[in-house]
Amino acid sequence: MQRSASCGTEEAVKNSANHDFSLDASVSDVEKAAVKPSDDAIAKDFVHSSDQNGQGLIDQKTLPNSDVSTLAEEEDEFPEGGLRGYLVVAGAFCGLFSVFGIINSTGILLDYFSTHQLKDYTSSQIGWIFGLALFLTFFCGAPIGPLFDAYGPRLLMVCGSVLLIASMFLLGLCTQYWHFFMVYSVLNGLGGAFIVTPCMGSIGHFFLLKRGNATGIAMTSGSIGGVVFPLMLQKLLPTLGFAWATRILGFILAGLLGIANLVVRSRLPRKPMGSLMNVAPDLTVFKDPPFALVSLGIFLMEWGIFVPLSYIAPYATSNGHSSAFGFQIIAILNAGSFFGRWLAGMVADMIGRVNTLILSILTCTIACLALWLPAENSTAMIIVFAVIFGFVSGSNLSLSPVCVGQMCKTEHYGRYFSTCWMFVAFGTLTALPIGGQILSVNGGSYTGLIVFAGLSYAAAAACLIAARVLKVGWKIKMVY
């Protein structure tokens, strides 16, 4: 599973005392900052184009005036690289590798648990273990933001590192259901939240114009980890057993997180902690129909995306393929995601972020229903599905927060982002348990599970299309 989230909002760096920088420059930068205007384009004059509400429209050669003025004011204040800046990127790469590499290997762990330690439990019960871990990682990211602003990354990353490393070392000792709940769901989930926000926030302290490239480099670590860890486990599990395989993962995480703790640092002045109510969800923003539809669309997209990411390996082995192929298909899917994230940014700059997300979600719908559903024991079709789905689903994760940003003014982005993602986190919590229950009800047949994923994607696309129509009408050629 993967998860990962991220869009750059430059104006919030210093304009608003109540606007949490860590939400704008950290959580909001996760992956989604890959979609940005080029450095040359930023240096030019922009003509502001807006809809009836004065927000959200992006032409190929335009940006909002507020963004342009902020760029002009802050361009000289950010190093935009240098040794310290790129060391922070390298450290963030290592930190995010540790978090999203494990998340993107969820399919392997789920398949192993269901056939070994937790073989007497249903797929839905096992799904809650991974769903809760994802929920804590994404839900707790926003409240951690003010802590990052007030105290910097060091203490947060030390806490996150201890939790993640402990999770891996203790995982091999788990034998009962509640053991996995405490060790994987709680320790791993909270540890991920303590690592992701500081890593992304620190990149935002050193980069403004090049923030998209910097965060994009850091976020490729998730896809690379999703290739490396499954292939490692394929070799380690049969030879050394589960306990030592997870301990070796723990040692690797210790090395990666050690590097991250040494080089990830902040640069901007600390901000007072203030009230935690500043990051609490603001439910009044759901009164805006386009935002409500986009939030619901992303929620449904989470239902769609985590089913293939988690169940593709068990699907392959249940249809007569070897366990080795189950490991390899996860690696193939994540390799496709690596390239898809990069291309999504370039395409979105040309045709618009919302347009690109809609197209990618529609493609995922087709891939699930036209390729995965009839694949069964066809090796070729499973591989083709994994490549295509991995490629297009990478843009699902990298564009969704950017689309949230187009539903509001820049200075309100932190509030909208935290509200949206605290809502969407419940989608990550429930996706796998629902999928597991569907699988159990159908007697182990994956037909209902795949249809659930495809219909979730279709409903997500409908919500995003409706939001786009409300904002810009039926103008198909509009770059939005």
| Three-state secondary structure of the chain | CCCCCCCCCHHHHCCCCCCCHHHHHCHHHCCHHHCCCCHHHHHCCCCCCCCCCCCCCCCCCCCCHHHHHHHHHHHHHCCCCHHHHHHHHHHHHHHHHHHHHHHCCHHHHHHHHHHCCCCCCCHHHHHHHHHHHHHHHHHCHHHHHHHHHHHCCHHHHHHHHHHHHHHHHHHCCCCCHHHHHHHHHHHHHHHHHHHHHHHHHHHHHHCCCCHHHHHHHHHHHHHHHHHHHHHHHHHHHHHHHHHHHHHHHHHHHHHHHHHHHHHCCCCCCCCCCCCHHHHCCCHHHHHCHHHHHHHHHHHHHHHHHHHHHHHHHHHHHHCCCCHHHHHHHHHHHHHHHHHHHHHHHHHHHHHCHHHHHHHHHHHHHHHHHHHHCCCCCCHHHHHHHHHHHHHHHHHHHHHHHHHHHCCCCHHHHHHHHHHHHHHHHHHHHHHHHHHHHHHHHCCCCCHHHHHHHHHHHHHHHHHHHHHHHHHHCCCCCCCC
* pLDDT value, residue 218: 81
* pLDDT value, residue 434: 92
Is the Cβ–Cβ distance between 457 and 306 less than 8 Å? no
Domain with CATH 1.20.1250.20 in the chain: 77-280, 283-479
**Alpha carbon distance 201, 268 (integer Å):** 10
**Alpha carbon distance 104, 289 (integer Å):** 33
* pLDDT value, residue 99: 92
79 C-beta neighbours (distance < 10 Å), count: 16
What angle in degrees, to the nearest 10, is found between the helix axes of 82-103 and 123-139? 160
The closest of 212, 220, 214 to 338, measured between CA atoms, is: 220
Tell if the pTM clears 0.85, that is, is over it. Answer: no
The tens-digit pLDDT sequence of the chain (480 residues) is: 443 333 333 333 333 333 343 334 333 333 333 333 333 333 333 333 334 444 444 444 444 443 443 444 344 476 777 788 889 889 999 999 999 889 888 888 888 898 888 988 988 899 899 989 989 988 887 777 777 777 788 889 999 999 999 999 999 899 999 999 999 999 999 999 899 888 877 887 787 766 666 777 787 788 888 889 988 998 899 899 999 999 999 999 999 999 999 998 877 766 666 665 655 667 788 888 888 998 999 999 989 888 898 899 889 988 888 888 888 899 999 888 888 777 776 677 678 778 888 999 999 999 999 999 998 888 999 999 999 999 888 777 767 777 776 776 655 665 677 778 788 889 888 988 999 899 989 888 899 999 999 999 999 999 999 988 888 777 777 766
The closest of 254, 151, 253, 263 to 199, measured between CA atoms, is: 263
| CATH code reported for the domain at 283-479 | 1.20.1250.20
* pLDDT value, residue 398: 67
* pLDDT value, residue 45: 36
**Alpha carbon distance 272, 257 (integer Å):** 27
Is the Cβ–Cβ distance between 313 and 329 less than 8 Å? yes
For tokens 């030592």, the residue is: 244
Q: Domain 77-280 maps to which CATH number in 3.40.50.300, 1.20.1250.20, 3.40.50.11600, 3.40.50.1820?
A: 1.20.1250.20
